Structure 1
Amino acid sequence: MENKKRSRGRPRSFDRNEALAAAALLFWRLGYEGASIADLTEAMGITPQSLYSAFRSKADLYLETLDWYRQDMNLPVRTLLVEGPSAVATISGLLRTYAQRYSRADRPGGCMISTGALAVAEENRAVGQHMIGLRRTALAAYRDRLERAIVEGELKPDTDPEVLARFIATVIQGMAVQGHDGASTEELLAVANIAVAELERHRSMTG
């Protein structure tokens, strides 16, 4: 009689994608350190053992939820900045889109990347550094696009791309905090429109 091999480990009794989405929404709402393992397992509907088996650690789970977040936002920022024919139009569109998405009724307010891990304990330093890296990458993308716009004559030659990029990033991060605190879409759009007006002020007459 042929011996049947036993399958190693117990099969997962949960949908991994659904559990990941639940974890992402919790991290989005509470931040990295604000979401405990107990909070996560309750939201995901799994045991701590299943969480560590499927996602290895809380930090690894968090990094994976950031990928889920980017897909949920559906905003390929770097692609838009590179391929958009106009820096002013592209960045203006991003500002207004962020204003709308940071205040969606069907999602937690704000932005996981802007507010998810601003201050962390020493043992979570790697997570905090990763988030700083993401924000710096976004800042560099804005700066690069503005520098190109100056070279192409869209923006005035005396425009400071570093300062203007930091202004844009500051507005976006500020809207994220305001969205987290309950600001409405109309209120955030009003802020975005002021930033758009500042961008327009730097537009070249010939651009």
Structure 2
Amino acid sequence: MAELSAAMGLNPPSIYAAFGNKQALFERCAGHYAQSVAAYAPRAIDEEATAAKALHRYLSEAVEAFSAEERPKGCLLVSAATNCGKGGRGAQDLLAGYRQASEAMIAGRIRRGIEDGDMPSATDPDLLAKYVSVLIQGLAAQARDGATADDLHGVVELALGCVDVSL
């Protein structure tokens, strides 16, 4: 908040007043993050020719976003509001919604891959999407805790090698 106050030239009560309240400010921040830092996710899912390539790109670009030098390590949508009390329920619910939407987007791409014949027909789209989501959340935590991008890319390769997704 101190950095935000200094950058905007406003004191915290003025910042909250400009956005309505803390929750509204947090919602704007999370939305901005989703549309900027995390915008790699829908692009990776939508732009690749196969589901396997989309998953690989999604995970690889997540590693790069989580490890970028110019901002805090990890992912706001994964790590923020994890240990809040009752007053943080709105923030927790908001972020859970972003994570659930991401998982649904992944499952949809896997379903499309099955329909297009580039994913095995026996693939469980919801389970594989859950696996990728768990991996994303773990990558974010590892990046936050200091893991290097090279280490995390190695984890991505290992994880994708453990499931039946051929590039």
Match among 91, 97, 102 for residue 133 of structure 1: 97
Q: 2:22 aligns with which of 52, 58, 71?
A: 58
- Please state which structure has a larger fraction of its residues in helix: 2
Aligned to 1:146: 110
Whether contact under 8 Å (1:149, 1:155) holds in the other structure is yes
Structure 1 vs Structure 2 CA RMSD: 2.2
What are the superposed Cα offsets for residues 77-114 of structure 1, whole Å, 9 maximum, x if unpaired?
33542443211111101111111111111110000001
Cα offset, 1:67, TM superposition: 2.2
Which residue number corresponds to residue 158 of structure 2? 194
Structure 1 position 174 matched with structure 2 position 138? yes
Unaligned runs of 5+ in 2: none
Unaligned runs of 5+ in 1: 1-36
Structure 1 pair 174–74 and aligned structure 2 pair: CA distance change class (3 A): closer
**Within 5 A, what are the aligned runs for 1:30-179?**
41=5, 44-73=8-37, 75-179=39-143
The two structures have a TM-score, normalised by structure 1, of: 0.72
Report the residue type matching 2:59 in the other structure: L
Aligned residue-pair number = 167
Distance of 2:42 and 2:152 partners within structure 1: 22
Whether the 8 Å contact between 1:102 and 1:180 is mirrored in structure 2 is yes
Which residue does 1:185 correspond to in 2?
A: 149
Find the aligned partners of 1:96 and 1:79 in 2 and give their Cα distance. 13
Distance in 1 between the 2:22 and 2:77 partners?
Answer: 16
TM-score (norm 2): 0.88
Identity, % of aligned pairs?
28
What is the SS of the residue equivalent to 1:188? helix
TM superposition outliers: structure 1 runs of 4+ over 3 Å: 37-45
